[in-house]
């Protein structure tokens, strides 16, 4: 690590030197070091690169400035390339409004210190905080360009899951329900996009984006998040490619980075360095292939998400001693991947198929994403028998759990929520009647509401439904609405199936519905 020169508070040097490294920008609970609002410059090179701007690095959720320095060669590369750099600590678990205000105030200080505009290099939620600072707190006057590395511009469905009825209690037990994760729910971020992208100051600063498509192999730290997000499209284990895009930004590259590696200097700096010079054009339009006939706002996200799949079954609860969960697997399923997540590493998990064959976890690992601190127990079964499967769990203490089953099946793209119905404040499911017997569909629906990250969720609806009848959404006022559906039914060849559907919307103070 190269030498750092601090701009204001010398005592921060001691804090920084003895603190443990923090994971960067992953969506979940962390233990970041650094006092919010403190910023410092990197070592000044002997000759600052001609025509360059100072680079300001902004960390993500539950992280700190150390993410750019510890186990990352970004600061070494920028120094060797003769760039003047600065690093800032924001609030690790606050929303984009609080962090945007803080960052705006500090960018003014940096502007006065450097005597010129800066370029922001942001990772994960840091890109959302940066745009809040520029658009809603007038910091655009201090910033020349913004580069975002896997920023959830349209939110993350993992944040939706953390606030669902299946997982919300687990997230709360391990400390992952906070203002930041609440603000990253896709419904709320749709609202943020609307009021941000319609602001006339939006066009004053060019944005350059990166996205990742790698979430590792079975048993890896980002695999579970990637598996869950796969129903919404390509992703890096925490953020989908669709969410990493801005319809008015320039997408530099989407490649096989995961959510952690995308911020490493050797991974992306050579690709965005050409955009750091004053000689470069201020902005380039997003490729036409990414634009839809819809309104410009969030168009790229909606284009990709329109092809989402129903490939997940989710269950959750609490038990003492032992419990069991049963689910159906339809014929023709290529693979099932089961993930049992709880607060204990030594849970005893056994999965039994219709043929009485037993399976136990082949991988156990600690979560490093949205549910940081929980443990995953994973089982993969190729060519599973169709019929009823049962999971048995035992632990000598009271255990809270979230069970996810992912299906590789042709049935996945034959069922989805009607998003136009959601806009009209009602819930309806679309199915392919050539593969699914519509009159066999039944299940449970839960709709929850919360105004913001500080208010407790309230349940608006909990009822059973049959034959996919239209279900109205009760209006509780401005806030986030979670629509959670457990669905079961029969295929046209009389095989039982089960799936879970989860979406969020945001209703603003005028009653307008914002959906992903």
What architecture is the 410-516 domain classified under in CATH?
Answer: Sandwich (2.60)
Cβ-Cβ contacts under 8 Å for 243 (sequence gap 6 or more): 152, 153, 154, 155, 156, 186, 301
Per-residue pLDDT tens digits for 490-501: 999 999 999 999
pLDDT, residue 21, reads 35
Per-residue pLDDT tens digits for 330-346: 999 999 999 999 999 99
Range list for CATH 3.40.50.1820 in the chain: 4-305
pLDDT, residue 257, reads 98
Task: Please give the Cα distance from 120 to 434 (Å, whole number).
Answer: 51
Per-residue pLDDT tens digits for 269-316: 999 999 998 665 444 444 433 333 222 333 334 444 445 789 999 999
Range list for CATH 2.60.40 in the chain: 410-516
pLDDT, residue 292, reads 30
CB 389 within 8 A of CB 352: yes
CB 54 within 8 A of CB 18: no
Percent of the chain past pLDDT 70, that is, above it, reads: 86
CATH number of 4-305: 3.40.50.1820
Among all chains, which residue has been given the structure tokens 């909606």?
A: 302
The residues pairing with 377 across neighbouring beta strands, listed in sequence order, are 340, 364
Mean per-residue pLDDT of the chain: 86
Q: Decide yes or no: CATH 3.30.420.40 for domain 310-408.
A: no
pLDDT, residue 19, reads 35
Q: Is the pLDDT of residue 392 over 90?
A: yes
Torsional sign, CA 164, 167, 171, 172: positive
| Per-residue b or e along 223-238, where b marks 16 or more CB atoms closer than 10 Å to that residue's CB | bbbbbbbbbbbbbbbb
Phi-psi region of 513 (alpha: psi -120 to 50; beta: other; left: phi over 0): beta
pLDDT, residue 278, reads 64
- Nearest CA to 157 among 187, 130, 179? 187
Task: Please give the Cα distance from 162 to 183 (Å, whole number).
Answer: 12
pLDDT, residue 162, reads 87
Per-residue pLDDT tens digits for 500-509: 999 999 999 9
Distances (CA, A) of 299 to 180, 223, 258, 451, 514: 24, 28, 24, 26, 13
Range list for CATH 2.60.120.380 in the chain: 310-408
pLDDT, residue 80, reads 96
Dihedral angle, C-alpha 411, 497, 239, 475, nearest 10 °: 110
Query: DSSP code of 45?
Result: P
CB 411 within 8 A of CB 436: yes
pLDDT, residue 294, reads 29
Task: Please give the Cα distance from 66 to 55 (Å, whole number).
Answer: 15
Torsional sign, CA 326, 327, 332, 333: negative
- Nearest CA to 485 among 402, 431, 416, 400? 416
Task: Please give the Cα distance from 463 to 145 (Å, whole number).
Answer: 49
Query: DSSP code of 114?
Result: H
Per-residue pLDDT tens digits for 12-39: 333 333 333 333 333 333 334 679 999 9
Per-residue pLDDT tens digits for 66-123: 999 999 999 999 999 999 999 999 999 899 999 999 999 999 999 999 999 999 999 9
pLDDT, residue 453, reads 73
């Amino acid at each position: 690590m190269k030498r750092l020169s601090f701009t204001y508070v010398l005592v921060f040097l001691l804090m920084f030197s003895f603190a443990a490294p923090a994971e960067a920008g992953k969506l979940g609970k962390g233990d970041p070091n650094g006092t919010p609002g403190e910023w410092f410059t990197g070592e000044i090179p002997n000759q600052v690169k001609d025509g360059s701007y100072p680079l300001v690095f902004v960390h993500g959720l539950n992280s700190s400035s150390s993410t750019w320095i510890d186990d990352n060669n970004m600061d070494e590369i920028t120094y060797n390339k003769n760039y003047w750099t600065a690093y800032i600590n924001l609030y690790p678990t606050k929303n984009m409004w609080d962090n945007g205000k803080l960052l705006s105030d500090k960018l003014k200080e940096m502007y006065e210190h450097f005597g010129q505009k800066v370029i922001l290099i942001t990772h994960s939620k840091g890109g959302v905080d940066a745009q809040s600072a520029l658009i809603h707190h007038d910091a655009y006057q201090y910033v020349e360009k913004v580069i975002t590395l896997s920023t959830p511009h349209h939110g993350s469905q993992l944040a939706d899951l953390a606030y669902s009825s299946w997982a919300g209690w687990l997230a709360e037990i391990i400390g992952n329900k906070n203002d930041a994760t609440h603000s990253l729910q896709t419904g709320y971020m749709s609202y943020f996009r609307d009021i941000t992208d319609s602001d006339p100051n939006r066009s004053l600063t060019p944005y350059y984006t990166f996205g990742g498509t790698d979430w590792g192999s079975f048993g890896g730290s980002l695999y579970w998040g990637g598996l869950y997000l796969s129903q919404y499209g390509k992703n890096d284990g925490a953020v989908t490619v669709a969410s990493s895009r801005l319809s008015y930004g320039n997408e530099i590259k989407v490649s096989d980075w995961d959510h952690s590696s995308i911020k490493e200097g050797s991974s992306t700096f050579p690709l965005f360095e050409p955009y750091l010079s004053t000689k470069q054009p201020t902005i380039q339009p997003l490729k036409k292939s990414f634009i839809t006939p819809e309104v410009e706002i969030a168009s790229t996200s909606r284009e990709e998400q329109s092809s989402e799949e129903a490939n997940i079954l989710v269950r959750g609860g609490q038990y003492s001693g032992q419990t069991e969960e049963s689910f159906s697997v339809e014929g023709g399923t290529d693979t099932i991947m089961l993930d049992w997540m709880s607060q204990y590493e030594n849970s005893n998990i056994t999965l039994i198929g219709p043929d009485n064959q037993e399976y136990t976890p082949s991988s156990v690992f600690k979560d490093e994403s949205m549910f940081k601190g929980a443990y995953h127990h994973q089982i993969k079964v190729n060519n599973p028998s169709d019929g009823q499967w049962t999971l048995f769990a035992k632990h000598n203490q009271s255990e809270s759990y979230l069970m996810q089953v992912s299906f590789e099946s042709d049935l996945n793209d034959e069922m989805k929520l009607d998003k136009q119905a959601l806009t009209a404040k009602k819930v309806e499911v679309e199915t392919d009647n050539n593969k699914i017997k519509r009159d066999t569909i039944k299940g449970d629906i839960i709709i929850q509401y919360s105004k913001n990250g500080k208010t407790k969720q309230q349940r608006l609806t909990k009822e059973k439904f049959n034959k996919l009848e239209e279900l109205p959404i009760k209006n509780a006022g401005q806030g986030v609405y979670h629509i959670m559906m457990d669905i079961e039914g029969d295929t046209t060849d009389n095989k039982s199936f089960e799936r879970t559907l989860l979406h969020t919307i945001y209703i603003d103070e005028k009653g307008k519905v914002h959906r992903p």
